Structure 1
Amino acid sequence: MSDKQQSFASHGRVHPLFHLILLPLFFANFIVSVTWLVRSPGFPMAWNLVMAVAFLLLLFLARINPMMVQDRVIRLEERLRLAAILPQPLQARIPDLTIDQLVALRFASDAELPALVERTLRENLGRKQIKQAIVLWRADDLRV
């Protein structure tokens, strides 16, 4: 974990290679392909556009699929953590928490976790609401 304190405002992660290089390049390739097809209609330009769309889809799948696996791992980790930390009555309610709620709760410190879980279940808080309610953040620098 890093020495840098995380918070709701600073926990988002920008992956420079993906967000600042690949995404803009693939999007620009799509725009160029549309422009070429409009200016010179025909099969080669249409195929170029199809491939530009395929590359964009591939790029998004390359980002989304690892994030889905990460969320499954977080779900497992947080269920184990909750089983060890929560008082007995709340332990029985762990299955009631959604994946989104578990993903957000991973940032909460052990000290504030029981009260936050109870509030989450009572008020059916969403991911953003849970993160905004966290006072003592546990940094998570190992995410995809």
Structure 2
Amino acid sequence: MSTQTYANHGHRPVYTLVATAFWVVAVIGLVGMRRGEAWGDEAAALGLLGAIFCLISISRLYITRLQDRIIVLEEQIRAERLLSPASLAQWRGLGVKQIVALRFASDEELAALTARAAGESLKPDAIKRAVQHWRADHRRT
């Protein structure tokens, strides 16, 4: 991930702009339908379906990103409570997806699995497969 500065910190809601463009197409299509244009109903349907698809995708993306942020905070508290300073330093070097995968590890295996994840650059799926004593997460959406 690149370093964030004042110049590049802004959020650019590309998906929202795409959904807005589809909505505009839908409105133009509805106007065309009202005027009896042959292309009106197709444009309205395309715009409406495109906007709905974009909005569903946006909601899923935002929900997952928000949950990842919350999981990282929860796991940070857990790591600070359970890990030695050396293991905690390794944990802090992990990526978000790796930390999210480590949430399934039991307290007893967290330190060893953190060391493996950091040392072997394990991908999230490999981390989950390495968990011996699974901690369930029934709250994930």
Q: Does the alignment reach a TM-score above 0.5? A: yes
Structure 1 equivalent of residue 122 of structure 2:
125
Aligned-pair CA distance for 1:94: 2.6
Distance 1:129 1:87 in 2: 23
2:62 aligns to what?
65
Kept in 1, the 8 Å contact 2:103–2:135? The answer is yes
Aligned to 2:134: 137
Contact 2:90 2:115 in 1 (8 A): no
- The secondary structure found in structure 2 opposite 1:92 is helix
Aligned partner of 2:85 among 85, 88, 106: 88
**What is the match of residue 77 of structure 1?**
74
Letter in 2 for 1:65: Y
> How far 1:87 sits from its partner (Å)?
1.5
In structure 1, the residue matched to 2:107 is: 110
Residue 43 of structure 1 deviates from its aligned partner by: 2.4
TM-score of the superposition, structure 1-length normalised? 0.69
| Alpha-carbon RMSD | 1.5
Do 2:90 and 2:114's aligned partners in 1 also have CA atoms closer than 8 Å?
no
Look up the match of 2:98.
101
Give a deviation string over 1:20-44, Cα, whole Å, max 9, x none: xxxxxxxxxxxxxxxxxxxxx6122
| Cα separation, 1, equivalents of 2:87 and 2:95 | 15
Aligned length in residues? 105
Q: TM-score, normalised by structure 2?
A: 0.70
- In structure 1, the residue matched to 2:3 is none
Identity of aligned residues (%): 38
Q: Report the 3-state secondary structure (helix = DSSP H, G, I; strand = E; otherwise coil) of the residue aligned with 1:112.
A: helix
Q: Which has the higher contact order (CA 8 A, sep 6+)?
A: 1
Gaps of 5+ in 1: 1-40
Structure label with greater radius of gyration? 2
1:111 aligned counterpart, secondary structure: helix
